[in-house]
Amino acid sequence: MSAAIEIKGLSKRFGHKVAVNDVTFTVGEGECYGLIGPNGAGKTTTFSMMCGFLFPTAGSIRVLGVDPTQPGALKGKVGVLPQDAVLPAAWPVGALLTYLARLSGLPEPEREAREALERVALPETWAVPAGAMSHGMAKRVAMAQALMGKPPVVFLDEPTAGLDPKIAAAVRQLIRELKGHSTVVVSSHNLQELEELCDSTAILDKGKLVKAGTMSEMTGQLAEFRVQIARGPVPLDEVKALSGCRTATLENKDTILVVHFDGQAVQPEDIITRTVGLLVQRQVLILSVSRGKRLEEKVLQLT
């Protein structure tokens, strides 16, 4: 997979404050990539540098092979949903989207604007002034402008923040639809959402990159699974003796069996089936089986 975005040694200072410190990661073409971290971790600053809003103090960024701060370098190639950018209040939504489509150099600006509004399920807001819309509607209109022209790279900063669950689910569905034909970078606090959507992720903390990798690596899906036990004594030694098993431990008052295995030597479905079979054979009652850790656990562990 070739790289759509390459970030090397990226740093950003605001006076004495170091917002981003020597961050390096790569986003593959067609990937959905998550930027994760607590408040003040440098997610939005990194995001803003990728979009060309902020100039890096040090390091380099290449988006589709070009420096995003170069004038006009990414015209029509990226769609951006900035976090706190306010839509110009006086513009009717349709006119605003048509204007932005025209600025992007799209061949049929009005058609693009109408299609984008339909994608975010807001065609009825065509004549509504942007300043008269609710937060959720404004967010979806902002999302619509980012999707116009089907850009190869889409940056979404907190796309579902402040949205009700139904609308948030619709936005997540939109992001799912982008996967494969667009490279998507999503910055969010909603780890469950990122775990569900993203192929890869970078965890930032206090401006530094803590870890970057695929979601499977992050959550240990290829090396770990958990079995929630309802009743019965777990034959721990027998589990440890299973081929491919590295370690087996009991957590949470012996109600969770955590098994680490050699992901190179054994397929997850193979060892999970054998472990569950052994437990059932020993009359251990099981509530659920899950692969890896929750992303949230990993992030809490790292930050």
Q: Transcribe 194-245 into DSSP letters.
A: HHHH-SEEEEEETTEEEEEEEHHHHHTTTTEEEEEEEES---HHHHHTSTTE
Size of the site for another protein (CB under 8 A): 30
* 8 A C-beta contact, residue 292 and residue 216: yes
CA distances from 8 to 83, 99, 129 (A): 24, 35, 42
Pairing of strands 78-81, 153-157: parallel
Residues 6 or more apart from 141 whose CB is under 8 A from it? Answer: 87, 93, 96, 97, 117, 120, 122, 125, 130, 133
Q: Which stretch binds another protein (CB under 8 A): 66-74, 168-176, 177-185, 207-215?
A: 66-74
Q: Does 58 interact with another protein (rule: CB under 8 A)?
A: no
Q: Does 150 interact with another protein (rule: CB under 8 A)?
A: no
The residue from 20, 27, 64, 78 that contacts another protein (CB under 8 A) is 78
Interface map 213-252 toward another protein (x if CB under 8 A)? ----------------------------------------
Q: Does 147 interact with another protein (rule: CB under 8 A)?
A: no
Q: Residue 76 or 123: which CB sits closer to another protein?
A: 76
Q: Which stretch binds another protein (CB under 8 A): 30-38, 96-104, 181-189, 261-269?
A: 96-104
Q: Does 74 interact with another protein (rule: CB under 8 A)?
A: yes
Binding region for another protein (CB under 8 A):
48, 51-55, 71-72, 74-76, 78-80, 82, 84-88, 90-91, 95, 99-100, 102-105, 145
